[in-house]
Amino acid sequence: MQIKIFFACIAFHPTLLSLKCNDCDITSADMSSVAWMLRSNTSLLRLFLQVNPIEQDGHLKLVYGLQQNYTLQYLLVDGCSSTLPSMIIDDLLSL
């Protein structure tokens, strides 16, 4: 619940440029909140999500959030390349 509240609070933060959430125990279930934040935030440039237990369904939620985010320039998350189907990775690279 705290992670959901945290991402809701920063969703519309006007000056936050970089967010490091490494080793914060963010799970695949929490990625819905991350996706919603990404769809709403228009200032965040860098997001770090390394060393979190995010599985394939969490990565897919992340992709959903990125579909409406036009400001994020740098994203680090463990395991995406090995768990996402290659066609989704190819689609993301073509954006």
Structural contact between residues 48 and 76, judged by C-beta atoms closer than 8 angstroms:
yes
What local confidence, expressed as pLDDT, does residue 79 receive?
A: 73
What local confidence, expressed as pLDDT, does residue 78 receive?
A: 87
Give the predicted TM-score (pTM) of the model: 0.81
Q: Tens-of-pLDDT digits for all 95 residues of the chain?
A: 799 999 999 999 999 999 999 999 999 999 999 999 999 999 999 999 999 999 999 999 999 999 999 999 999 998 765 444 444 545 555 55
What local confidence, expressed as pLDDT, does residue 84 receive?
A: 44
Nearest residue to 92 (alpha-carbon basis) of 58, 64, 71, 56: 64
What local confidence, expressed as pLDDT, does residue 87 receive?
A: 46
What local confidence, expressed as pLDDT, does residue 47 receive?
A: 96
